[in-house]
Chain A
Amino acid sequence: EPEVTQTPSHQVTQMGQEVILRCVPISNHLYFYWYRQILGQKVEFLVSFYNNEISEKSEIFDDQFSVERPDGSNFTLKIRSTKLEDSAMYFCASSDRAPREGYTFGSGTRLTVV
């Protein structure tokens, strides 16, 4: 079964540093997403991406965040200057033209900012 792959599985970074979280979506999917889950809280939408541009973003997705599809397979989330409150599990997801059928999520990257 096709999978969404995320790397690394766990990243520790110092406050103020830049981090890049990487994702390989399912190859024939067209829509890509990032969600985050702060420990013990609900899963929150960050951003969706289609046709090489952001299609939706939440209030959480401020200027310190950016997304990119640098080549035909990777989808990245960059956090420019990490804060302690950015510590969370970050999930990448992808979907085809019919997201009513559900999204496929990756297994997540646990980001710890110290």
Chain B
Amino acid sequence: GDSVTQMEGPVTLSEEAFLTINCTYTATGYPSLFWYVQYPGEGLQLLLKATKADDKGSNKGFEATYRKETTSFHLEKGSVQVSDSAVYFCALKSSGSARQLTFGSGTQLTVLP
């Protein structure tokens, strides 16, 4: 079945550091890929998405490129801020008729001033 593997956290960075959170997936066909963010005490918010190979999703300075050849969708940001501290989830929706999302285990990011 489908699965998503994220780098284990927690990740602690200083403000303005470069961020990479690795995400790889296993799925048949061409899934849609998502990054969700969960700020402390809040629900899941869609951060960015990509629906086909080589698409780049971007939002709020975050980027991720759908790499079919490496089955990856790594999240990057050039300069993190304290306000980016949150848990980040990589997720996929398979290309078939099933509508459910399959999530990774989440990566806790803490940005220190």
Contacts and interface: CB of A to CB of B under 8 A. Distances in A.
A and B physically associate: yes
Nearest to B104: A42
Contacts of B45: 105
Interface stretch (B13-21, B60-68, B69-77, B94-102): B94-102
A66 interface: no
B43 interface: yes
A108 B51 contact: no
Interface residues on B, range: 20 to 34
Contacts of B99: 31, 33, 48, 55-56, 95, 99
A104 interface: yes
B100 A105 contact: no
Contacts of B93: 99-100
Interface of A: 6, 31, 33, 35, 41-45, 48, 55-56, 58, 91, 93, 95, 99-108
A102 B49 contact: yes
A43 B49 contact: no
Residue among B32, B43, B98 with the highest chain A CB neighbour number at 10 A: B43
Nearest to A48: B99
A100 B51 contact: yes
Interface of B: 32, 34, 36, 42-46, 49, 51, 89, 91, 93, 98-106
Contacts of A33: 99-100
Contacts of A43: 44, 89, 91, 101, 103, 106
Contacts of B102: 45
Contact of A100 (B32, B36, B98, B104): B32
A35 B93 CA distance: 14
B43 A91 contact: yes
Given A43-B89, A100-B51, A105 B103 contact: no
A48 B43 contact: no
A74 to B, nearest CB: 18
B15 to A, nearest CB: 26
Contacts of A31: 99
